[in-house]
Structure 1
C-alpha cells in the first residue's frame, strides 16, 4: 500500500510516467497494481527552498518524495524500493540520482484507513510483506 508523493518545481511528467513508477513499485513488492498511488505536486518558487532548486532555474529538477507504507514491510524491501524509485526517477526525469531525496513514513496498525476500514495488522499468512 505505498502512497508516493513527489514534489518539484517542475510540471508533472504525466500520468503514464507516474503509472510506470507505480508498476515498477508493485512489481518489486509483489502486490496488486491498484495498491500503489503516485502523486505529483508542483511547487512554485515561493513555496520551497532547496539549494538544488535555484529560483528561476530551468529544470529538470530532482524531486523530493515521501513514501508512505505499512510498517510490516521489511527493511530490506524498503531499501530496494528506495533504490528502485531513485533509479526510475533519475532515468524518467533525466536528473542526477544523487539529488533524488526520498523518505519513508510508516503507517502503524490502528492509524491507517484502507479499503474502507481501519487497518489493524496483516494476517499471519501474509507474513511481513504488507499490501
Structure 2
C-alpha cells in the first residue's frame, strides 16, 4: 500500500514512467499492482530551496520524495525499497543517484483508511514481506 510522492521543479516524467516505478515497487513487495500509487508534484523553483537544484538550472533535478507505507513492512524490506527507488529514479530521470532524497512515513494500525476501512494491522509474515 505504498503511496509515493515525488517533488521537483522539473515536469513530471509522465504516467508511463510513474507506472514503471509503481510496478517495480509492487514487484519488490509482492503486492497487487493497483496497491501502489505514485504522484509527481512540480514545484515552483522560487518556492523551494535545495542547493542541488540551483547548481543544475538547465539539467534535470533529482527529486525529493516521501514514501508512505504500512508499519508492518520490515526495516530491511523498506531499505531495499528505498535503494530500488533511488536507482529507478536515477536511471529514469538521468540524475545522480546520490542526489535522490527519499524519506519514509510509516502508517500505523488504526490510523490508515485503506480500501474503505480502517487498517487494523497485518499478521507477521514469515517471509519478511507485509501484504
Partners of 2:29 and 2:56 in 1: CA distance: 38
Note if contact 1:26-1:36 (Cα within 8 Å) is conserved in structure 2: yes
SS in 1 for 2:4: strand
Q: Which runs of 4+ in 1 moved over 2 A?
A: 126-131
How many angstroms does 1:80 deviate by?
Answer: 0.4
Unpaired runs of 5+ residues, structure 1, are: none
SS at match of 1:78: helix
Q: Are 1:110 and 2:110 counterparts?
A: yes
Superposition TM-score, scaled by structure 2 size: 0.94
Within 5 A, what are the aligned runs for 1:82-121?
82-121=82-121
Q: CA RMSD in A?
A: 1.5
Deviation track 1:108-128 (CA, whole Å, cap 9, x = no partner) reads 00100000000011145x555
Match of residue 62 from structure 1: 62
Unaligned runs of 5+ in 2: none
Question: Aligned pair count?
Answer: 130
Deviation at 1:129, TM superposition (A): 2.6
Residues in 1 aligned to 2:86 and 2:97: alpha-carbon distance in whole angstroms: 6
Partner of 2:46: 46
CA contact (8 A) 1:60 1:94 kept: yes
CA displacement at 1:55 relative to structure 2: 8.2
